[in-house]
Every structure is written in C-alpha cells, then in structure tokens.
Structure 1
Amino acid sequence: MSAEITESSNRSTLHVAVGLGVFGAAHFVFLALAGRDLGPAGTAPVSVAWTLLNAIGIGLFQPVEQEIARRLSAARADGAASGQVTRIVRYVGLAILTVVALALVGYRWLADGPLASGSMVLVVVLGLGAQAFAYYARGILAGTGQFRRYGAQLAVDGGLRIFLSLALFVTGASSQVAYATILVIAPLVATLITVRPTTLMRPLRARPLPDATESPLGGLVAAALSSQLLANMGPIAMAVLAGASQQDLSGRFIAAVTIARIPLFLFTPVQVVVLPALAAIVVRHDWPAYRTTMRKTLLISAALASVGTLGVAVLGPWALSVAYGPAFTIGTSTLVLIAVSGGLFMLAQAYAQSLIAHHRERLIAIGWGIGLVIACATLAVDIELSLRVALALCTGTGAALVTLLLGERKIVRMWRDESQVPPQN
C-alpha cells in the first residue's frame, strides 16, 4: 500500500511539473514575441497588463485555490463526498466587483498612462475574471486529487498562449490589445476544456462539514497580495514613473526583469514541495526534521540566487538581446540588481513558507508590507530611472527578508520549546 501511495504521488508530481513547465515557458515566449513584434515602446502596455495580472491576480485568487484544496482534501479525509466552498465563491465575487470598481475609478489615469488605452483596461479586468475562474478550478482539481487534469489545465493554458502569440507574430495581424487578449482567452478556454462542468458545480451544492472551521482566507490574501505586489512592483513603478518619451525604457526594463529573474521560476517547484513538508513537520513537532528541511531549502535558494546573479552578470545583456531583439538593451548593473532582488525574494519566500506552516499569515503580510514601504521610499533616490527602480526592488526585498527572518526565528523558537516539553502524565 505504501508503495502504491508513493507511486501515485510521483505521478501526480510529474503531471503538475510538466504542466508548470509548459505554463512557465509560455510566459517567456509570449513576452518575447510581443517584444519583437511591437518593439520596446509598443510592448510596454502589454507587459504592464501581464504584470498587473500576475501581481493582482495571483495575490487575490491563488489563496482561493489553496483554501478550496484544503477544504476538499479535509472533506475527502473525513469521508464526505465534497466540501462546501460557497463562502469562498462569495469572496471571489466580491473581489471581482472591487476590481471593477477600482478600474472605473482609475479608468482615465490607467487609459492615459500605464495601459495606454481604454481597451487595455477592459482586457485587464476580464483577465482577472478569467484568472479567478482558473484558480477556482485548480483548487477543486487539487482538492479532489485530479492532478492529471490539473497539469493538463496548466499545459493547455501555456500551449494556447504560445500558439496564439505565434499566430499573431507570423500573420502580422498584431496589436497591443490583440496580444493582451491572449491573457484572457488562454486561462478561460483551458479551464473549460480540461474541467468538467459537474466538477465545478459539485462543491457549490455540498453541505458544510459539521466541524468545518472558518476559512483563514483574509490572512492568506493579505500575505499573497503583498508579496506579489512587491515582486512585481518594478515593472509597475517603471510604467508609472516613465514619461511619454521613456516608454521604450519601460518596455526594456520589463523585458530585463523576465530574464534576470529566471531563477525565481526554477524556485517554484521547491515551494510546492516545501510547504506541505513543513506543515506536516510542524504538526508532528519534529524539530530536527524542521531544521534539516529549512537548511536544505535555504541552501537551494542561496545556490539558485548566486548562480542566477552570476549568470546575469556574464550573459544577461546577450540573453536579453537574443530573446527580445537588439532594440532591448539595458545596463548590466541594472540587470544585476534585478537578479539580486530575485535572490533576496527567494530567501524571503523560504521563511514565508515556514510562517505559513505555523499559520502566521498576518506576520507574513507585515513583512512584505514593510518591504513595499522601503521600496517606495527608495524610489525617491535621485539616480537614473531604471537603476533607481532596480535598487528599490533590492532594498524592498531585503527589508522583507530581514523582517520575515526575525519573525520566523521568534515563532520557531516558541514552537521548538513547546515541542521539547515532555508530555504530562
């Protein structure tokens, strides 16, 4: 039985890894083709739309996937046919309405500034709705153990992004809105193709479990949203601070971020594995296992950060030109600072995973929030714009790392002392 469980777990991991690989590659292909087709200035609004969907969409809706998966997994373990997720769906509806309201309030500024047109504002709002639908479906698939379909949804989403962007590039029938619309179509169609309607509806009809606990969604959302805003603030800051004559600089900076932060994509599978392991260790009060797991995670993070930064310092400008075209140039010092900020972010995420395992989501949100404040303060430094934004990414992620590290040490010290108290007879 143990061998069967292990084999099933390995197959599930493989399905998700393949889907994640296609999905991750699609981001680079999409942005590279849009960059080559539209040029540095023309691609800037598309890249900003992509950044906003990553920052806001992941922050608002990835916790939906996590909480639905948790509830459905608990229901399966309890012998129930399904868990009840109506309250989570209400949150999704409220979040989308809030996004629409904010888009209406800031419509003129967004249309005249970072997104360059009203059509792009509409595309971003629709894209967030499509992301919400996709994350809802992934939560159901993960919670019910349908990892083959989970991986398929990611793969189809990524495949559609690659195919559609290639079609636009080859036919020449391209525009900013056309490229951005791919970000709406891909997650929506991928979800409809790979997930049965009955699968999507079943949790909505289920009765709550008698011992169902209240969802910690607020803390999860605050932590996820603040981390994604910090991770993606560079492109957003560039789009806001760059004047009309600097739109090409904004496009080149966003392209540089995708190259310099490749190690962050490689770190994603580490996060997927580490969090469940730490959660189980915390429940068991196994201090030696916790120490070993964190040490390995931090070593992997530091290795990825070091190799990535060195690679960017040596090959960054060449890789940027090969991927996006010779018009996409930026200073090596800026590239290196972006890479350093990515390394600091990985280390901060390692400590954040530990705090999630200890159910300290609010502390995580505080850590990322402090990082955002420090990063915004750094934007006041009077140096060249791209270098200033890259420096802000470093100071912000560095401040978040220190805060999360100190918080993790305090929480773990208390947990370790509790775990070493002998049981009372």
Structure 2
Amino acid sequence: MGLGFFGLSTYVFTAVVLRALGPERFADFNLFWGLAYGVGLGAMLPFEQEVSRRTATAVHTDGRVGRTLTAGVTVALAFSVVLAALVLPFVLHASGGANSLLWLVTTSSFVALGIAYVSRGLLSGRSSFGRYSAQFVAEGAVRLALVGLCVAIGVANPWGYAAVVPVALLVAVAVTWRRDERLMSTSPSLVRDVALSMAPLVVASLISLTLVNLGPVAIRYVQDVPDPTHDGSYLAAAFIARLPIFAFAAVQAVLMPRLARAVVRNDAADFRATVLRVLVPTLALGLIGVVGVAVAGPWLLALLAGPQYDLPRLDMVLLTAAYACYLLTLVLQPSAVALGKHRASAVVWVVGALTFAVAWLLPTDASTAVSIAIATVSLTVSAGLGWVVRRGLSSGGFAQRTAYRT
C-alpha cells in the first residue's frame, strides 16, 4: 500500500512537471532524472539489498545490527562523493547555462539516495515493513507538497523541480528513523568488507538502472534527424511503461530477507520455492502491463502528460514489453545476491550490457531499436542470472559458501 501510494505520487509529480515544463524543457529535466535515477539509484539501490541481507542474518545470529548500519552509511557516503566527481565532466558539457545547479541537485540526490536505501535495507532486514511503507508515503507526500509549491510560485526552470527529489528523500528518512537505531562504532575491516561486497553489486545495478532510466534517452542519439518533441513524448511514455516496476518494488522488499533466512537455515528447498512463487506473478504482471498499454496506451499518455505529447501505440507496446522482460531480472538478481554470488551477477550484467550495443545497431527506426535493445539485455541477463542461481542451489552446503565476515 505504501509503495502503491508512492508510485501514484510519482506519476502525479511527473504529470505536473511534464505540464509545467513542456516537451523540450522536460527533456532537460530528464537529464537530471537520468543521472539521479540511472547513475545515483544504480549505485545506491544495492545498499538496500546488501544491508537487508546482512541485517536479516545479524538478527538471526549475533544481533549486531548497529555495526552494519554504520558501515553501510559510511560506504554509501563515500560512493556519493565518487559519483559526484565522476558525473562532473558530463555535467560541464551539458547544454544551457545551469551546469552548477544541475551538478548541485544531482550530487544532493546521490547523498540522499545513499542514506535512504541504507535505511530501507535496515527496515527490510528487520521486517519493519510498517515503517518501510511509511518512508515511501512520506517521500511521496513531500514530493507532492513541494511540486505544488513550485507551481504556485511559478517555477519555470527544471532545476527547481529537480531539487524536490533529494529534499523529499531526506525528510522521509528523518520522520521514520527511530532513536534505538543508532549508528554504532564499527571496525575498519567491516567497512572494507561492505565496500568490497558492494563493488560488484554497484556495477550490476548501474548497468541495470542505466538501462531503465537512460535507455530511452538513447533515442536522441539513434535518430537521423533530432526531434525534441518526439524525444520528450518517448521519455514520457517510458514513465508509463515502467509502471509494473513500481508495483514490483513491494515484492523485492520482502524477498531479500526471506531468501537470507533460507540461506541461514541452509534450506535450499524453501529458497527455490520462494523464487518460483515470485517468478510466476512477475510474468503475469509484465503481461498485464503490455496488454494495458496495447489497449489504452495513447489515452494514458495524454492523461499523464497532456495532448501535446503523442507517440504511436506500437512504440508504446514495444517499450512496455521491453520493461516486462526487465522484471525477470528483479527476481533473479536478489536471488543471486542472497546466495553470495555478487561477482557472478556483475559479470552477467556486463555481458548483458554488450548486447545493448549489438541490438542498437539493428536496421530499424529509433524507437524500435531502443525497445529491442532493452528487451535483449533483459532476456540475456535473466538467462545468465538464472544459471547463476541454479548453479548455487544445485550443490550442497550453499549456506557455508554465502557466509561473510562480521
């Protein structure tokens, strides 16, 4: 329910921004969105999975949750600084005269995302799903309040709307943080261990989220003749196509701690049954999304963004089908992580990323090429991760192989 509210608030937020900025200026806003939720979320989302895994294990073993929390926050802040430095050259070459504002709101979002996803990993690992839900509700509510304020005072540039994102994240963490969840003194070895565990996960997640959020942006670079209005419409349609991903986020929050507990108990049968129980409705969710867009895609686009946004129905269906394929990776990636297959999952994503370039070169129109490329990567990665998980379960004693230092 909390994630449902957050998803709805995100679409309301997007609809307001789309209408306030128009297709061309929304393309500039989407540059920030791609950096924040392609690069930033790509680096920080794995913290939820890894902190959740370590917290769930600590709860069932030594109970030292505070040390994991401290190590997670430390590594997340360090990663934020590195990301800010890495995107600076790209920002300096961005069009327009607001490079410093773009870099400021993007860096702020990196920090806020890091803190938020460490917090969510803690809540997920402790099965505190009431507060997990409350954090998403708070973030969505603050977004809506602030975007309403931006419209009321007549904000006309994209960076004012972009600043809403980090503020909402930090407020949501603050209102759901409990006093007993204090940062405890931790050892350099644990911080180093978390950093080493996170490195391959960040590689995999950066490729994954870049595919989801920056994939549609690639349409700018495969068109023979640039069309800003078409680009903006395609980016708006991508928000509709990604709707099943929002719905699936609730499943991911519960999935990791359950898989981690199965590993602690060395219960391969429960692990396998949990993965299969999630895969079936995931396939159904993706199919529902494709059928929904096939029936009402153009109407939904007009409802979300306004009549000035227009995209052929076939392009919307292909893009939605591509994201439906991506849903499979959202089940298999945490399954591989729960088994401790961090490096193997990263290798699979690197191989998958190479297929994007190959599919991109197909002799077809720009919209179709991007959709086929996203679907190709998703199916390639799903097959690879499926093999990694199957191999991890096929031989005995998998709990011992997934143990980590505490």
Fold match by TM threshold 0.5: yes
Structure 2 unaligned regions, length at least 5: 401-406
Structure 1 unaligned regions, length at least 5: 1-16, 420-425
2:84 matches 1:105:
no
Residue 160 of structure 1, aligned match among 131, 142, 154: 142
Whichever residue aligns with residue 121 of structure 1, its letter is W
* SS at 1:328 equivalent: coil
Find the counterpart in structure 1 of residue 32 from structure 2.
49
1:9-158 matches, cutoff 5 A: 17-18=1-2, 20-72=3-55, 77=60, 78-80=62-64, 82-83=66-67, 85-109=69-93, 111-112=94-95, 117-142=99-124, 147-158=129-140
Question: Quick check: 138-147 or 376-385, which moved more?
Answer: 138-147
For residues 205-257 of structure 1, give each alpha carbon's deviation from its aligned partner in whole angstroms, at most 9, with x where no partner exists: 42559999933222332332232222223233235556994222222111111
For residues 315-370 of structure 1, give each alpha carbon's deviation from its aligned partner in whole angstroms, at most 9, with x where no partner exists: 11111111111111112221111111111111232222322221112222222222
Distance (whole Å) between structure 2 residues aligned to residue 273 and residue 290 of structure 1? 13
Distance (whole Å) between structure 2 residues aligned to residue 141 and residue 418 of structure 1? 23
Distance (whole Å) between structure 1 residues aligned to residue 157 and residue 253 of structure 2? 36
Distance (whole Å) between structure 1 residues aligned to residue 79 and residue 64 of structure 2? 29
CA contact (8 A) 2:53 2:257 kept: no
Find the counterpart in structure 2 of residue 252 from structure 1.
233
CA contact (8 A) 1:306 1:343 kept: yes
Find the counterpart in structure 2 of residue 8 from structure 1.
none
Find the counterpart in structure 2 of residue 277 from structure 1.
258
* SS at 1:206 equivalent: coil
Summarize the Cα distance change of 1:211–1:346 in structure 2 as closer, same or farther, 3 Å threshold.
closer
For residues 16-62 of structure 1, give each alpha carbon's deviation from its aligned partner in whole angstroms, at most 9, with x where no partner exists: x42x2232222211111111121111211212322321222222222
Whichever residue aligns with residue 206 of structure 1, its letter is S
Whichever residue aligns with residue 234 of structure 1, its letter is G
Give % identity: 30
Summarize the Cα distance change of 1:173–1:59 in structure 2 as closer, same or farther, 3 Å threshold.
closer
Distance (whole Å) between structure 1 residues aligned to residue 84 and residue 173 of structure 2? 22
Distance (whole Å) between structure 2 residues aligned to residue 91 and residue 225 of structure 1? 16
- State the 1:69 CA deviation: 4.4
Residue 361 of structure 1, aligned match among 342, 358, 365: 342
Summarize the Cα distance change of 1:241–1:122 in structure 2 as closer, same or farther, 3 Å threshold.
farther
- State the 1:300 CA deviation: 0.6
- State the 1:387 CA deviation: 2.1
Summarize the Cα distance change of 1:199–1:103 in structure 2 as closer, same or farther, 3 Å threshold.
farther
* SS at 1:382 equivalent: coil
Residue 335 of structure 1, aligned match among 316, 324, 333: 316
Whichever residue aligns with residue 409 of structure 1, its letter is R
Task: Say how many residue pairs are matched.
Answer: 397
2:161 matches 1:179:
yes
Find the counterpart in structure 2 of residue 227 from structure 1.
208
Distance (whole Å) between structure 2 residues aligned to residue 241 and residue 125 of structure 1? 29
Whichever residue aligns with residue 174 of structure 2, its letter is L
TM-score, normalization: structure 1? 0.82
Residue 173 of structure 2, aligned match among 187, 191, 196: 191
Question: Quick check: 265-274 or 332-341, which moved more?
Answer: 265-274
Whichever residue aligns with residue 276 of structure 1, its letter is P
1:200-211 matches, cutoff 5 A: 202-203=182-183, 205-208=184-187
Question: Quick check: 84-93 or 128-137, which moved more?
Answer: 84-93
TM-score, normalization: structure 2? 0.85
For residues 284-314 of structure 1, give each alpha carbon's deviation from its aligned partner in whole angstroms, at most 9, with x where no partner exists: 4445434433332221111111111111111
Flag the structure with larger Rg: 1
Find the counterpart in structure 2 of residue 292 from structure 1.
273
